[in-house]
Amino acid sequence: MLYIGSDYAGFDLKTKLVTYLKKQLKLKVEDLGAFEKTEDDFVDYAVPVAKAVAKNEANRGILICDSGHGMNIAANKIKGIRASIGYSIEGAELARTHDNVNILSLSSRALTPKHAAAIVKKFLETDFIPLERRIRRMKKIAKLEK
């Protein structure tokens, strides 16, 4: 399942991405808010998305705020989450192949809808490559969550 959330600053980009994901990529997407463009706090959307993603290893999440940083910080506080900033197509690919990232955080200020869609597409179509060194690193990170 793909979960998506944004604060007010990411609302417009999120709305466009949801349409793209459903109509162009034919994906099932669960939108966990915000549902209107009124001032709010990114944490109120990052945490529900992160908790939903953490329930199943196959789940993925997209979070959007002004810079992407606030959402990313909040999501990474949830056990089992490996969130990263989606700054480029190559960066999204590396986040998946090298670090098995399960949530992509986006900046509504820095990305056009077209660029954000391309980054998200690459993130969703890329698999983790489970090399021994990468698995070892993930286990070390998981120990920090205990």
Selected catalytic residue, list 37, 98, 121, 134: 98
The question of whether 115 is a catalytic residue gets the answer no
The question of whether 65 is a catalytic residue gets the answer yes
Selected catalytic residue, list 65, 92, 95, 116: 65
**Structure token digits, residue 119:** 């980054």
From the CB of residue 39, how many other CB atoms can be counted at a distance below 10 Å? 8
- Do the Cβ atoms of 31 and 17 come closer than 8 Å? no
Tokens 């939108």 identify what position?
31
Residues belonging to the active site: 65, 98
